[in-house]
Amino acid sequence: MRYCKGLPGTIGNTPLIYLTWPSERTSCAIYGKAEFLNPGGSVKDRTAKFLIEDAERKGLLRPGGTIVEGTAGNTGIGLALVGNACGYRTVIVMPETQSQEKKDMLRLCGADLRLVPAVPYANPGNYVRYSERLAQEMGAFWANQFDNVANRTGHSHTTGPEIWDQLEGQVDAFACAVGTGGTLAGVALALKERNPKVRIVLADPLGSALYSYYRCGVLKAEGNSITEGIGQGRITCNLEGAPIDEAVQVTDVACLEVIFNLLQHEGLVVGGSSGINVAAAMQVADILGPGHTIVTILCDCGTRYQSKLFNPAFLKAQNLPIPDWL
């Protein structure tokens, strides 16, 4: 008999998809790891599982306990679903600017959702810092996805080796955006351990400070982006010491071109972070030249952003392109 024991057992081992349009445009082989096929709809299901299992091992989570976390949405959804399966209550703190679809999904999962103003990390009211205080007040487990390195360790033990095995070691570069840094750092560690020559490229939207940091050594943000859950103004613990070779910056226009083409020509409905990732992989392909193999992450499904990325009124208000078919 072959089966999964509950929802946590279904997380991970996602397929790798050859992306035809980006590959043909660049004369390279570009692959996307289909993390949107996780049960909660995103790569953050892995993070949730890693954090919960690590807390259980350390005795920080006991039967009937409560998990508190600050999240742009997807980690909260993963924590709520894995928490439900394991008997935990979940309290989620999220910036009020995030998509309505993610808010609705969190409530559907039974999470206690607390919305707060979107303010910088330096502000005590920032959603991450607010969640830390709330966890202390409640005597609950604070998942702390940004600085809890169980996040990147989990990716180095699962996501990275999965990519290596799926490509049979034939990978030249890995490109990925950063929210917590767990996915990029964990996969980077796994791939570099197997082949130090694999290029690790940080993909950054406008409005994030990481592109400047890895190019010039200074945390400096310029511009803004409609993408959610990625971009960072500090070096998180998950990102510290990550073997990153270079960084590329991706505009919202380039991101949307990818999203709309993947949907129209390949039937893949993905969100903004996936658009940033694939656009970055295409930049890396142009840098390396024809014949190389680049892999990235398809983080979540575009239905989670239908009110924004696929809303003509929203796109028009942001002076962004609207495809004819939308």
Spatial CB neighbours of 62, under 8 Å, sequence gap ≥ 6 = none
DSSP character at residue 96? T
Spatial CB neighbours of 75, under 8 Å, sequence gap ≥ 6 = 44, 47, 48, 69, 143, 145, 180
Spatial CB neighbours of 213, under 8 Å, sequence gap ≥ 6 = 219, 220, 235, 247
Name the residues annotated as catalytic: 44
Inter-residue contact 98 to 73 (CB < 8 Å):
yes
User: What stretches of 178-319 adopt beta strand conformation (E)?
Assistant: 199-205, 246-250, 293-298
Angstrom distance (rounded) from CA 98 to CA 321: 21
Half-sphere exposure in the Cβ direction for 213 (13 Å, CA): 19
Q: Give burial (CB, 10 Å; 0-12/13-18/19+) of 133.
A: middle
User: What stretches of the chain adopt beta strand conformation (E)?
Assistant: 16-18, 29-34, 66-70, 89-95, 112-116, 141-142, 173-177, 199-205, 246-250, 293-298
